[in-house]
A and B are shown apart, each in its own frame.
Chain A
Amino acid sequence: MDILITGLLLGGTYALIAMGLNLQYGMARIMNLANGEMLVAGGFAAFWFWTAGQLSPFLTVFLVFPVAFALNWLVYQVFLRPLVKRAKSRGQLEVDAILTTFGLSFVSVGLMLAFFGGDYFSYSYLSVPVHLFGSTWGANRVAAFGAAVVICGALWLWLSYSRAGMTIRAIAVAPDSARLVGIDVRKMAALAFALGGAVTASGGALISTFLTLDASTGVMFTLKALVIVIMGGVGEVRGTIVAALLLGLLETFVATVIDPGLTLAAAYLLFVVILLFRPQGLFGKRPT
């Protein structure tokens, strides 16, 4: 029971880290290597509002979300749209996007150093125990898990049942055909990218309540997100959620039953096994 809940809580954290990248990579087709920096920026916003004005990170999210949305939309329009325009194939776009966003990640680290400084930013919020099923968990982790459920659930519902969501799925599946049925692919791709960035930044604000971040930690989260997105299947919201939970459960199981030193090894073993047997990811569709 302990393992199950601890694992689910960690899985929720992972889902928050990976969901934004899934939108950006799966829907907008931009392999965004600067994703982790957006997460750290969101975390910093939460830190700043908490230390300066005692504003709860769970309220800061409502501020971080629109700001990050606007910022990512701008980034897409300025830096990434020219790439999309001139790319002749998906492969070319991928290479261009990786190079560009790799550069952007350095720029963002530099900007964050200039504005926030290089110190660790950490604060205590809701670090009180919650008693559930005869054991204790940090309230901030439980709350972040709840937020992850809300965010992921809302995204899944929106993508599955709303018109805009369906349009975004259409551009993810077949960008060329989508144009034929009157979808403004560029606009929707920009929207998906901005939404992904906003989700990532909100995730950052939420997980900063229990993780210690600094300006340079972004790349660690990008890597983790990448692993989860690929395991779950690119462009699959359900896949990302399942992969994140699976990873959380596995890491907790290994840490509790075998040895905490082996969590990383176990995570990458799972990654390799999934790639070997389902290269398209857990929920991904086989390329035709």
Chain B
Amino acid sequence: MKRRTFAQLAAFALAAGLAGPAFAQDTLKVGAVAPKTGPLAGGANVSYWPNVKLWVEDVNARGGLSVGGKQMKLEVIEYDDQTNPGETIKAVQRLAEQDKADIILPPYSTGLNLASAPIYARYGIPMITSTATTDKAEELSKQFPNVFISLGGAQGIAKGVVEAMSQLKDKGEIGNKIAMVNVADAFGIELAGVAKPAFLAAGFQIVYETSYPLGSQDLSPVMKAAKAAAPDAFVAFSYPADTFALTEQAIVEDLQVGAFYTAVGTAFPGYGARFGAAINGVLGVGGVHADGEAFKAYAARHEAVTGAKPDYWASAMVYSTFQVLEQSIEAVGLDRAAITAHIKANSFDTVIGPLAFDANNNNPSFWTVGQWQGGVFKGVASTGREGAVPVEKKSAWK
């Protein structure tokens, strides 16, 4: 076994060594850096890494990228940043200086994207972020004109939740009492901060409100207290592990609400697989035009190539931003400044539909709320995307 592995490696190294120089000019090096370990590895392994693999496979299957009239195949260099911003920055430097990567993809998550924006700016790398949610697009683009925001910001996401809840309230399907909890981390605190005044302005009453630390092992006190407040709707600005835990506690406690919302993780295929029919009607952050042909075809390829289903939020966005980069490179070549200018000026056809950036390098139309309906997580609210389905009242857990 060991010997065979060694022999294979040796053969591979030899082949690479011999073949390398001959084909060197026909391949483009694509650098990718994101967590493979650390707290955000779970999310990156659902939404980010499979898309890097899929995109490179797709492009190579077509014969490569056409740059200056020549077909160039892609070759990936992957780095694990251990969910540590310092490592992300080092890896980008290494990709640019040592590996001489022709294309460098943006990292994963809001924090790591914001932390590494200056280094991308220093090298002038077009950075079309796909997993960062921020309201600071205007300031960012002023400081770093190469940075693009596509996944939206807290304002849009929180307003989407309020809008979906208001629709249910206006239809008379839920009352106006809301229990709202959030994870005590930048994402949860920011969203809760935006959502609270918006709920109050929309005529809701917040009957229970609390935060809990990241990595809490037992959220049953939170769910018991929320239940005791007898809310009509439950809203949690949560991270994946607590999204799962809160949902399980809600099922155990049989929390009877007309609307149940959890944030990151709700759109993961694993969430649907774990809870099955019980979560029909659960609302969550994100969403896609799940019935659209473009998404269906993308999901099928994603599963065929990577062996896993895409999530119903960031996955398609990650792939779409790679498509933007791909189309820009085919249009203007590898010059970084030219790519950035091209992205600013054009609209792109992607798996989430047309994608274009405004004067602040911000994608103004993104999905904000989705809902599990019949085993699929469908977009129910967006800031101008097509294909939203009407929001439904949450049925009983069983």
Interface residues of A (CB under 8 A from B): 2-3, 6, 9-10, 13-14, 109-110, 113, 117-124, 127-129, 135-139, 141, 210-212, 214-217, 220, 224, 248, 251-252, 255-256, 259-261, 263-264
8 pairs of A and B residues whose beta carbons are closest in the complex: A118-B45, A255-B221, A214-B42, A260-B212, A138-B252, A212-B244, A120-B42, A212-B241
Q: How far does the alpha carbon of A129 sit from the alpha carbon of B252 in the complex, in Å?
A: 5
Given contacts A10-B218, A118-B36, 14 further A-B contacts (CB under 8 A): A3-B221, A119-B42, A120-B46, A123-B274, A127-B248, A127-B251, A135-B224, A212-B241, A251-B218, A259-B211, A260-B219, A261-B211, A263-B216, A264-B213
- Closest approach, in angstroms, between the C-beta of B345 and any C-beta of chain A? 37
Which chain B positions have C-beta within 8 A of A216?
A: 37-39, 41-42, 83
Contacts of A248 in B (CB 8 A): 218
CB-CB nearest in chain B for A112: B37
Sample (26) of A-B pairs whose CB atoms are under 8 Å apart? A3-B221, A6-B220, A9-B220, A113-B36, A117-B45, A118-B41, A118-B42, A118-B45, A119-B42, A119-B46, A120-B42, A120-B244, A120-B268, A127-B248, A127-B252, A129-B254, A136-B253, A136-B254, A137-B220, A137-B252, A138-B248, A210-B248, A211-B217, A211-B245, A252-B218, A255-B221
A6-B224, A214-B42, A215-B41 are contacts. A122–B270 as well, Cβ < 8 Å? yes
Residues of A within 8 Å of B224, CB to CB, are 2, 6, 135, 256
B 203-239 binary contact with A (CB < 8 Å = 1; else 0)? 0000000111101111111101100000000000000
- What's the Cα separation between A135 and B252 when bound, in Å? 11
By beta carbon, the residue of chain B nearest A248 is B218
B210 near A261 with CB under 8 A, answer yes
Q: Check if B220 sits within 8 Å of A138, measured CB to CB.
A: yes
Interface residues of B in 303-322 (CB under 8 A from A): 308
Residues of A within 8 A of B42 (CB): 118-120, 214, 216
User: Once bound together, how far apart are the Cα atoms of A129 and B275, in whole Å?
Assistant: 15
Residue of B with least CB distance to A128: B252
Could you tell me the distance in whole angstroms from the C-beta of A212 to the nearest C-beta in chain B? 4
Contact with A along B261-284 (1 / 0, CB 8 A): 000010010100011100000000
Provide the residues of chain A in CB contact with B387, threshold 8 Å: none
A123 to B276, CA, bound (A): 10
Distance of A217 Cα from B44 Cα, bound (Å): 14
Contact between chains at B45 and A13 (CB < 8 Å): no
A123 to B273, CA, bound (A): 8
Q: Judging by beta carbons under 8 Å apart, are A6 and B215 in contact?
A: no
The chain B residues found within 8 Å of chain A, CB to CB, are 36-39, 41-42, 44-46, 49, 83, 181, 184, 210-213, 215-222, 224-225, 240-241, 244-245, 248-249, 251-254, 265, 268, 270, 274-276, 308
**Cβ of A119: which chain B residues have Cβ within 8 Å of it?**
42, 45-46, 270, 308
Question: A256–B224 Cα gap in the complex (Å)?
Answer: 9
The distance in angstroms between the C-alpha atoms of A211 and B249, with both chains bound, is 11
- What is the chain B residue whose CB lies nearest that of A256? B221
A256 neighbours in B (Cβ, 8 Å): 221, 224-225
Bound Cα distance A129, B248 (Å):
10
A224 to B44: give the CA distance in the assembly, Å: 25
Q: Which residues of chain B have C-beta atoms less than 8 A from A139's C-beta?
A: 252
Q: How far is the CB of B210 from chain A (nearest CB, A)?
A: 5
The distance from the CB of B229 to the nearest CB of chain A, in whole angstroms, is: 13
Residues of chain B within 8 A (CB-CB) of A138 are 220, 248-249, 252
Q: Which residues does chain B contribute within 8 Å of A9, judged by CB atoms?
A: 218, 220
CB distance from B306 to the nearest CB of A (A): 10
User: In the complex, what distance in Å separates the CA atom of A120 from the CA atom of B239?
Assistant: 12
Shortest beta-carbon distance from B116 to chain A in Å: 20
- Residues in A with CB closer than 8 Å to B37 are 109-110, 113, 118, 215-216
Q: Which of A13, A121, A135, A259 contacts B217 (CB 8 A)?
A: A13
Complex Cα gap A251–B213 (Å): 11
> What CA separation (Å) do A123 and B215 show in the bound complex?
18
Alpha-carbon separation in the docked complex, A138 to B241 (Å): 17
Q: Are B274 and A122 in contact (CB under 8 A)?
A: yes
Q: How far is the CA of A255 from the CA of B221 in the complex (A)?
A: 6
Chain A residues in 8 Å Cβ range of B212: 255, 260-261, 263
Interchain nearest-CB distance for A200 vs B (Å): 16
The residue of chain B having its C-beta at the shortest distance from the C-beta of A6 within the complex is B220
User: CB-CB < 8 A to A255: which residues of B?
Assistant: 212, 218, 221-222
- A256 to B227 Cα, complex, angstroms: 12
B244: A residues at CB distance < 8 A: 120, 122, 212
Q: Which residue of A lies closest to B221 (CB)?
A: A255
Residue from the list B39, B44, B221, B274 in contact with A252, Cβ < 8 A: B221
Q: Are A261 and B184 in contact (CB under 8 A)?
A: yes
Q: Which of B36, B211, B265 contacts A260 (CB 8 A)?
A: B211
A118-B251 Cα distance, complex, nearest whole Å: 27
**A127–B220 Cα gap in the complex (Å)?**
13
How far, in Å, is B213 (CB) from chain A's closest CB? Answer: 5
Q: Would you call B254 and A260 a contact (CB within 8 A)?
A: no
* Shortest Cβ distance from residue B135 to the other chain A in the assembled complex, whole angstroms: 24
Chain B nearest CB: distance from A255 CB in Å?
4
Q: How far is the CA of A229 from the CA of B248 in the complex (A)?
A: 29
Min CB distance A202 to B, Å, is 18
Shortest Cβ distance from B222 into A: residue: A260
Q: Enumerate chain A residues within 8 angstroms of B219, measured Cβ to Cβ.
A: 260
